[in-house]
Amino acid sequence: MKKIIYPRIGGVDSIEIIEEKDPLPIRGEVVVRIHRAGINFADLMMRQGLYGSNPDFPFTPGYEASGEIIRIGDAVEGFKIGDRVLAMTGFGGYSEQISISSDRVFKLPESITFDQAAAIPVTYGTAYHMLFHLGRISPGDTVLIHHAAGGVGTAVAQLCRVAGASTIIGTASSSKKDFVESLGVKFVDRESEDFVKICKEMTEGKGVHHAIDPVGGKNLMRSYKATRRGGKVYFFGASSAVRGDRRSFLTAFRMWLNTPKFDPLKMMSSNKAVFGVHMGLLDDPSIFKGHLNALSKMLEEGEIDPVIDGVWRFERVSDAQMHMHNRMNKGKILLDFSPN
């Protein structure tokens, strides 16, 4: 079987595809023949050595994949060969096959496609965690999203609608205006417009109830300012540490230097909260499983439907990642590992 590896820190041209023996399951594991794997922005940061919680190089990235079970180890119950599943791979999802603990595999209802299954966990799981689990979003709430056209951004927009949010404001690159508006989101050009001012103008001067910030650096304090008294800010990414496909120490250092250190006394007197969110480092796996169950119901009931930018054959992984580096994606990018 073939799998993608990051052999060392590098640009997209450092990515390799290697041949390996098909995996055999140990006790408690199943082997999944992968059809689709999700690409996440975190995969790009890992390749640049900017992530912090990935395995040592060389390693295979890929948090999430969908496919079918082709081998079953001892002491596995509830699965059979041929079952269509979602695999929460942690790492290693960019691969034709993976052997994985059956605890991390979820059977797919017939109505859910491999594309949908691989597009949902990280993006919608994160969005759900922020808005519903931490934020207890209520009907009528107002929300600011950055990267509104991206994987998490489109998931946040859909979940805001499910929750009955009254106003959703989203920043993105100028070429995505029509697309962002088609999601029911007020578009703000991330380069030429002032999102703090627009958030205030659209909320009678108060600011939004929820600000979703995966940018970090200076942007985070501006998101805090765009939030009303009693509002909530969710800090869950540092995309401003990245410039192009090669690591820039200067850009990463600037992000770190400019990321604010919040004053708890000021937070207390304005009743504001800042949540730090890292789904890969949740201690209790039942939290994420609960989110997946809720999301699977929403998908079956037609309340959400992941926006898929494109599906790329895995041999073109470098082009697919470059597409994201170039800020071109509208929604989720998937890799196709299905047998030809």
Residues that bind ligand NAP (CB under 6 A): 40-42, 122-123, 126, 147, 149-153, 172-173, 176, 190, 214, 236-237, 239, 242-243, 277-280, 324-325, 327, 329
Q: Smaller CB distance to ligand NAP: residue 30 or 172?
A: 172
Name the minimum Å distance from CB 152 to ligand NAP. Answer: 4
- Reading phi first (left if > 0) and then psi (alpha if -120 to 50, else beta), residue 320 is in alpha
Nearer to ligand NAP, 207 or 237 (CB): 237
Q: Provide the minimum distance between the beta carbon of 242 and ligand NAP in the complex, in angstroms, as a whole number.
A: 4
| Residue least distant from ligand NAP (Cβ) | 150
Mention every residue, 6+ apart, whose C-beta is less than 8 A from residue 70.
31, 32, 33, 81, 97
Task: Give min distance, CB of 322 to ligand NAP, in A.
Answer: 10
Give 10 or 73: the residue with its C-beta nearer to ligand NAP.
Answer: 10
Name beta bridge partners: 313. Answer: 336
Question: What letter does residue 12 receive in the DSSP assignment?
Answer: G
- Min dist CB 68 to ligand NAP, Å, is 25
The pair of three-digit structure tokens given for residue 217, joined into one six-digit string: 């650096």
Output 190 or 209, the one with its CB closest to ligand NAP: 190
Q: Give the shortest CB-72-to-ligand NAP separation in angstroms.
A: 31
Beta carbon nearer to ligand NAP, 173 or 270: 173
CA 94 to chain centroid: 16
Q: Do 94 and 335 meet the contact criterion of CB atoms below 8 Å apart?
A: yes
* Length of the chain counted residue by residue: 340
**Least distance in Å: CB of 129 to ligand NAP?**
8
Cα angle, residue 333 at apex, residues 283 and 252 outer, rounded to 5° = 65
269 CB contacts (<8 Å, ≥6 apart)? none
Least Å distance, CB 39 to ligand NAP, is 7
* Shorter beta-carbon distance to ligand NAP: residue 30 or 255: 255
Residue 76 or 277: the one with the smaller Cβ distance to ligand NAP is 277
The span from the CA of 156 to the CA of 127, in Å, is: 5
Contact 125, 291 (CB under 8 A): yes
